[in-house]
């Protein structure tokens, strides 16, 4: 018996990194999973992994910055898998830019995906869950950057502060439908996004990638980066029966980088 037996989950950003790790962990724990990603190949790969674990899956391609496409991704997941019990909003973009170099286009792109896309996916999923009448779980991926100074991640940090605000408001609003809404703040992980971040910092500072990558790992109090599967365990807990009375919570999985 898995923790999520009989549940249907939709995971955005499921093509790689934390999104893929979460989708596969949920499948191993008994859930059927809709894998949503902007990249068709990555979405298909994750869905095929889910199928290999003996669960139903659907690869859904969508640019979530378009509210209509975000709602369409939710509708497609329900149409193909029958219902929706869990949403994990893991899709995000990140650019490394000094504050004085940020352009309106960069600002708009980050907010379109990280805040607008997350909100309208959440809204569409919450409407489905409310109609179903059986409650639901929504898990948003935020970041320690939303609370800590992040000079090279000004826009990304601002989008994650928006995610924090949406999570709090949604938790209170959706409680009457027995839909819990929580967030996870992962620290530095071994993912393609982290590699792009460290590469951007290295390019701006004139140092090597290896030097920056090692230095940023040493700055974590626990002394190492997280594997995405470790962070996915927090999502599994929030999606499972043990967290039924938890809502409006921010789960810090940062190795001590952020201390509540």
The residues carrying an active-site annotation are 156
Residues 6 or more apart whose Cβ sits within 8 Å of residue 216: 188, 198, 201
CB 158 within 8 A of CB 94: no
Rounded CA separation 165/114 (Å): 13
Which helix (H) or strand (E) segment holds residue 155: the answer is helix 154-174
Rounded CA separation 118/112 (Å): 9
Q: Residue 2, Cβ neighbours under 10 Å: how many?
A: 15
Tokens (6 digits) for 232: 């996915």
Radius of gyration of the chain (CA): 17
CB 25 within 8 A of CB 229: yes
CB 197 within 8 A of CB 94: yes
Tokens (6 digits) for 152: 């090279």
CB 129 within 8 A of CB 150: no
């Amino acid at each position: 018996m898995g923790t999520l037996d009989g549940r249907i989950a939709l995971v955005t950003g499921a093509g790689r990194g934390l999104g893929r790790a979460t989708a596969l962990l949920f499948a191993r724990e008994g859930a059927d999973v809709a894998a949503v990603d902007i990249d068709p190949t990555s979405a298909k790969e994750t869905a095929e992994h889910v199928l290999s674990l003996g669960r139903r899956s659907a690869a859904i391609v969508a640019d979530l910055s378009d509210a209509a496409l975000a709602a369409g991704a939710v509708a497609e997941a329900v149409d193909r898998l029958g219902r929706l019990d869990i949403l994990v909003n893991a899709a995000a973009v990140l650019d490394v830019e000094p504050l004085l170099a940020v352009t309106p286009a960069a600002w708009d792109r980050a907010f379109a995906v990280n805040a607008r896309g997350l909100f309208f996916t959440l809204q569409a999923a919450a409407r489905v869950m409310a109609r179903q009448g059986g409650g639901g779980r929504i898990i948003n991926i935020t970041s320690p950057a939303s609370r800590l100074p992040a000079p090279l991640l000004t826009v990304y940090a601002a989008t994650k502060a928006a995610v924090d605000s949406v999570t709090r408001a949604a938790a209170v609003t959706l409680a009457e439908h027995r839909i819990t809404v929580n967030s996870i703040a992962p620290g530095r992980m071994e993912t393609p996004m982290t590699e792009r971040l460290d590469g951007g910092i290295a390019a701006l500072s004139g140092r090597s990638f290896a030097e920056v990558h090692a230095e940023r790992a040493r700055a974590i109090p626990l002394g190492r980066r997280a594997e995405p599967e470790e962070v996915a365990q927090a999502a599994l807990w929030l999606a499972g029966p043990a967290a039924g009375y938890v809502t409006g919570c921010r789960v810090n999985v940062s190795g001590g980088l952020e201390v509540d």
